[in-house]
Amino acid sequence: MAVSLSLRVNGKVIATTVAPDTLLVAFLREQLRLTGTHVGCDTGQCGACTVLVNGRAAKACNVLAAQVQDAEVTTIEGITPADGSMHPMQAAFKSCHGLQCGFCTPGMVMSAIDLVTHHPHADERDVRAGLEGNFCRCTGYQNIVKAVLQGAAAMGK
């Protein structure tokens, strides 16, 4: 039995059907081919699958596609400005060397955008606490924290 689904993904209206047990991460990757949303642990522990749902960070491996009916979903692909440049948070991750292998980076960036949008005066302690649900196995987090703070400043937060 298929479930009708209507939502906006990265500003584009999507109307389709999905199996009732389809996870949002599978819908994004397999049906929409938005592969920047990574599958890491499949249990909501690592944060690699983080997207924004109605402007708030959500782990797409813990959300059924049917649960985002009529929602606005933004993936890492959807934060690119119209001119094709990098989002300020992406640019900060690059300039601060806040990534190594890059696997966690899309989820980190999406969580960071949510964090600084909803906590515009976040300091280092707030950033560390706010990224608690996103794991990086390569960097040691120092440069990630620096990148989030720089990205926040560039976003005017």
Q: What percent of the chain has pLDDT over 90?
A: 85
Side-chain-facing half-sphere of 111: CA atoms under 13 Å: 28
pLDDT at 37: 96
pLDDT at 44: 85
Q: How confident is the model at residue 138 (pLDDT cuts 50, 70, 90)?
A: confident
Q: What is the DSSP secondary-structure string of 93-134?
A: HHHTT--SS-SSHHHHHHHHHHHHHH-TT--HHHHHHHTTT-
pLDDT at 84: 92
Q: How many CB atoms lie within 10 A of CB 74?
A: 19
Superfamily of domain 3-79: Beta-grasp domain (3.10.20.30)
Phi, psi dihedrals of residue 13, rounded to the nearest 5°: -75, 130
CATH T-level fold of 88-154: DNA polymerase; domain 1 (1.10.150)
pLDDT in tens, 95-122: 999 998 889 999 999 999 999 999 999 9
pLDDT in tens, 13-54: 999 999 999 999 999 999 999 999 999 988 888 999 999 999
Task: Please state the domain extents for the chain.
Answer: 3-79, 88-154
Distance CA 87, CA 84 (A): 9
By the 8 A CB rule, do 113 and 81 touch?
Answer: no
